[in-house]
Amino acid sequence: MTSTHTPIWRATVLTLFPEMFPGPLGISLAGRALASGLWTLEARDIRASATDRHRSVDDTPAGGGPGMVLRADVLAAAIDATGLPQDHPRLVMSPRGRPLTQARVAELAAGPGPLIVCGRFEGIDQRVIDARGLEEVSIGDYVLSGGEIAAMTVIDACVRLLPGVMGKLESGTDESFSDGLLEYPQYTRPQIFEDRGIPEVLASGDHAKVAKWRRAEAERLTESRRPDLWAARPIAPESGKKRKPPKITTDG
Ligand code: ADE
């Protein structure tokens, strides 16, 4: 036992469909870690904070238009009822949020664990986003029917980084994105699959040559598939010199 006590990483989800959780987070790597107490998950029903006799959580948009908007008063009450200390980041999943990155995932995993609000309907009253300081987060440029699957994505990406969750220490860092590159291709047995062999270098036993080949493949894939990542990579390939830092835009 050590004298410094790290609290268990705690994910709190506010949703109209708490029965969706843990869902896939209860299975495999995240599920085993959940069962063994390496993290905790609480899915809370936003509707429990509704006050009228119909338990309504949404209303028509001010100014007109289609769909329904999640009410500020109900959601604010649901957030406050969690009793979570201020140091827990407060996220709201939204396709108009800042795109999730591995860097943000690593920060969230290093903290006490986020509160994540899942939107439904056309949106959430802007006043609760402002008043409770919610960070809008998107998992990609496509629209889901609600924030729950997006919230699971955030949690899954964080949980696998928690201490003790992944078996091999390096499997969390030697992978896509952590060094700004996509992952190199992998091969295993059989030696020949439908007339296709395995790159010779991988059977050479020369670890330096293997590492060099993998790095080159990672760079080739990143440059061709993700020119955005390629342009923003922190280190110039081969030279080992720092590149000019990419321009940061501050328009949002
Ligand atoms: N809710 C609906 N679509 C979403 C997306 N792409 N990211 C995060 N939350 C969402």
Burial of 182 (0-12, 13-18, 19+ CB in 10 A): buried
In this structure, the residue with its CA closest to atom 10 of ligand 1 is 94
Instruction: Supply the residue whose CA is at minimum distance from atom 5 of ligand 1.
Output: 95
Q: At what angle do helices 28-35 and 148-159 cross, to 10 degrees?
A: 70
Helix (H) or strand (E) holding 107, with range, is helix 102-110
Determine how many CB atoms are found less than 10 A away from the CB of residue 249: 6
Amino acid identity, residue 101? T
Q: How many residues does the chain have?
A: 252
| Residue that is written with structure tokens 């889901």 in the block | 144
* Residue 238: DSSP 8-state: T
Residues lower than pLDDT 70 in the chain: 1-3, 168-175, 178, 235-252
Return the pLDDT at 31.
Answer: 98
CA-proximal residue: ligand 1, atom 2 (nearest): 144
What is the fold, at CATH topology level, of the domain defined by 9-159? Answer: Alpha/beta knot (3.40.1280)
The class level of CATH for 174-232 reads mainly alpha
Q: How far apart are CA 30 and CA 153, in angstroms?
A: 11
H helical segments located in 47-101: 72-81
Domain ranges, ordered by start, for the chain:
9-159, 174-232
Give 202 Cα–ligand 1 centroid separation in angstroms.
40
For 7, 11, 92, 122, 189, the CA distances from 194, given in Å and listed in that order, are: 51, 45, 47, 50, 12
* Closest atom, ligand 1, to C-alpha of 137: 8
Give the contacts of 245 (CB within 8 A, at least 6 positions apart): none
Please say whether the beta carbons of 15 and 118 come within 8 A.
yes
Residues lining ligand 1, Cβ inside 6 A = 93-95, 119, 138-140, 142-144, 147, 150
Whose tokens are 């109209």? That residue is 16
- Ligand 1 atom at minimal distance to the Cα of residue 143: 3
**Angle between the 102-110 and 148-159 helix axes, to the nearest 10 degrees?**
70
CA 208 to chain centre: 33
Residue linked to tokens 């080159």: 216
